[in-house]
Amino acid sequence: MNIDEELVMFRGKRPFYTFIKSKPVKYWIKVRFAAVEKKFYSYNMQVYTGKTEGTTEKKQDLRVDKGMVCHMYGTGRCVTADNFFTSRELANLLLTTNVTLVGELRNNEPEIPALFLSGK
């Protein structure tokens, strides 16, 4: 299973659209989803609505991933995610529920040892 996000073009009035000045179409809605690669379908979609209850949300990646993969707990399957959704905290959480995580980490993550960052 893969966890990813997609920008969907949007024209209309909604409080949660995303404005990206550098794109030809300026207004987008961000949709996060879980997809099964071999079957070519996606499910467990969540629309990113920005602030929740008037405050900026912290640890979005954990909330999104928990909601997307909670049905896989205990199955022994693998989840693939990009660098926004991958964290050490998420990997430990999934490992305790018998689910593995494959993903990339950003260079500025504090849990990456300095030895790994020294070379290209």
What does the pLDDT look like over 82-100, one tens digit per residue?
887 788 888 888 888 888 8
Q: What domains are defined for the chain?
A: 2-117 (3.30.420)
Find out whether 74 and 81 touch, Cβ atoms under 8 Å: no
Query: Is the pTM value of this prediction over 0.85?
Result: no
Q: What distances in angstroms separate CA 56 from CA 33, 61, 81, 101, 111, one per listed residue? A: 21, 13, 23, 26, 24
β-strands 18-19, 27-36 pairing = antiparallel
Q: What is the pLDDT of residue 110?
A: 78
Q: Average pLDDT in the 5-26 region?
A: 79
Q: Average pLDDT in the 21-29 region?
A: 82
Phi first, then psi: what are they for 45, rounded to 5°? Answer: -80, 145
pLDDT reading at 72 higher than 70: yes
Phi first, then psi: what are they for 32, rounded to 5°? Answer: -105, 140
Find out whether 46 and 67 touch, Cβ atoms under 8 Å: yes
